[in-house]
């Protein structure tokens, strides 16, 4: 928990404005109170101002929470609708349709606040699916320069300090791309390494996962992973990446010494790249539920501005930590 608390402290140092558009969910209400009272970030809610302020018993929170009411602020609604229209008119969206979306979809309204610069980031997903979050990102904000793919990672923290970086590892991609090809898998690996270095300030060691270790099995699924490694090395010559590794080879030094004795990544992986969404999503949930690891995320990467997702099973604590991480991303331009 020490590392996660460090994100909170870092967020406090340079407070950012973060939108939580699912403003009526009880977990969001509770997290908003904690975030404001602890000084982690300035929180923006979307909806009926009188109704939303009434949710808070604490006077400090009630006075300091920032609320945008789409029904009442028609001038801003029109400005946001124009932004959405300009971004999507090539897809046939009309200005009337854009107004309706901005008025009725708080996730879009929140993302457009970020795009317009009225907020520094957004966190949602306690109520909506990941698909809705990604749609808001792509339609309202878009991808950052040099990135053509959105992907995600979970920050996984275990009490076993011998794994990863003192028990911390990034798992990717566990929420976005169902069946990435080798080019996409390489991009996920490179982006995850960049995210790790920016957020953790440590050198990433990227382990590409498979059911095979360094050719122990022959299959087209294994070849995809091996091809992705070569593509990633060509795109980023400084990237510390190796594989393909079975999971135990990637994180257990004693296993790595037997199965991959010549690798300087095996047994030391802190960025674990799963070959597809099924394995990634299953893997992080097993680590969380059976291994008692703390799973924070999914953190979305490849976006022009930080907008992050939550699991619909998230806790209040999860919301607080993801909000802090989003604020840190906004400050460090990760």
pLDDT per residue over 116-127, tens digit each?
999 999 999 989
Identical fold, 2-142+305-332 and 151-289:
yes
Asked if 192 and 208 touch (Cβ cutoff 8 Å), the reply is no
Strands (E), 130-278: 151-157, 168-172, 206-209, 241-245, 271-273
Q: What is the mean pLDDT of residues 202-227?
A: 92
Q: What pLDDT, on a 0 to 100 scale, did the predictor assign at position 334?
A: 65
Is 1 or 253 the better-scoring residue by pLDDT? 253
Is 297 or 119 the better-scoring residue by pLDDT? 119
Tell me if residue 73 falls in helix, strand or coil: coil
pLDDT-derived band at 1, boundaries 50, 70, 90:
low
Q: Is the pLDDT of residue 18 over 90?
A: yes
Give CA–CA dist 98/89, Å, rounded: 9
CATH, domain 2-142+305-332, list 3.40.50.10950, 1.10.10.10, 3.30.70.3040, 3.30.70.20? 3.40.50.10950
- According to CATH, the superfamily of the domain at 151-289 is Isocitrate/Isopropylmalate dehydrogenase-like (3.40.50.10750)
The enclosing H or E element of 91 equals none
Q: Is the pLDDT of residue 286 over 90?
A: yes
Q: What is the pTM of this model?
A: 0.84
Q: What pLDDT, on a 0 to 100 scale, did the predictor assign at position 156?
A: 93
List the domain boundaries for the chain. Answer: 2-142+305-332, 151-289
pLDDT-derived band at 21, boundaries 50, 70, 90:
very high
DSSP state of 293: -
State the average pLDDT for the chain. Answer: 92
Q: Read off the tokens for 294.
A: 């703390």
Task: Name the range with the highest mean pLDDT among 159-163, 178-182, 296-300.
Answer: 178-182
């Amino acid at each position: 928990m020490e590392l996660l608390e460090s994100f909170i402290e870092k967020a406090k140092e340079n407070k950012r404005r973060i939108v939580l558009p699912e403003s009526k969910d009880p977990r969001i209400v509770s997290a908003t109170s904690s975030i404001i009272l602890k000084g982690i970030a300035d929180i923006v809610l979307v909806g009926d101002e009188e109704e939303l302020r009434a949710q808070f018993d604490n006077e400090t929170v009630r006075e300091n929470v920032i609320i945008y009411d789409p029904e009442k602020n028609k001038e801003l609604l029109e400005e946001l609708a124009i932004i959405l229209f300009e971004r999507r008119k090539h897809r046939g969206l009309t200005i009337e349709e854009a107004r309706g979306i901005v008025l009725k979809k708080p996730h879009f309204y929140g993302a457009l606040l970020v795009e317009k610069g009225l907020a520094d980031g957004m966190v949602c997903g306690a109520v909506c699916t990941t698909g809705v979050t990604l749609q808001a990102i792509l339609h309202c904000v878009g991808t950052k320069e040099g990135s053509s793919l959105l992907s995600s990672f979970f920050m996984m923290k275990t009490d076993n300090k011998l794994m990863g970086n003192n028990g911390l590892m990034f798992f990717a991609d566990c929420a976005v791309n169902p069946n990435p090809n080798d080019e996409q898998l390489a991009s996920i690996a490179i982006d995850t390494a960049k995210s790790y270095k920016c957020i953790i300030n440590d050198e990433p060691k990227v382990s590409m996962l498979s059911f095979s270790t360094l050719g122990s099995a022959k299959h087209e699924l294994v070849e995809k992973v091996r091809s992705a490694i070569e593509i990633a090395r060509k795109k980023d010559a400084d990237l510390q990446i190796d594989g393909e590794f079975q999971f135990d080879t990637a994180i257990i030094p004693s296993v790595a010494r037997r199965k991959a004795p010549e690798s300087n990544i095996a047994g030391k992986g802190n960025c674990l790249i799963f070959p597809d969404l099924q394995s990634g999503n299953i893997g992080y949930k097993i680590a969380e539920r059976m291994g008692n690891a703390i799973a924070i995320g999914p953190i979305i990467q490849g976006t022009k501005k930080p907008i992050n997702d939550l699991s619909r099973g998230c806790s209040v604590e999860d919301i607080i930590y993801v909000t802090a991480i989003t604020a840190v991303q906004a400050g460090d331009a990760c």
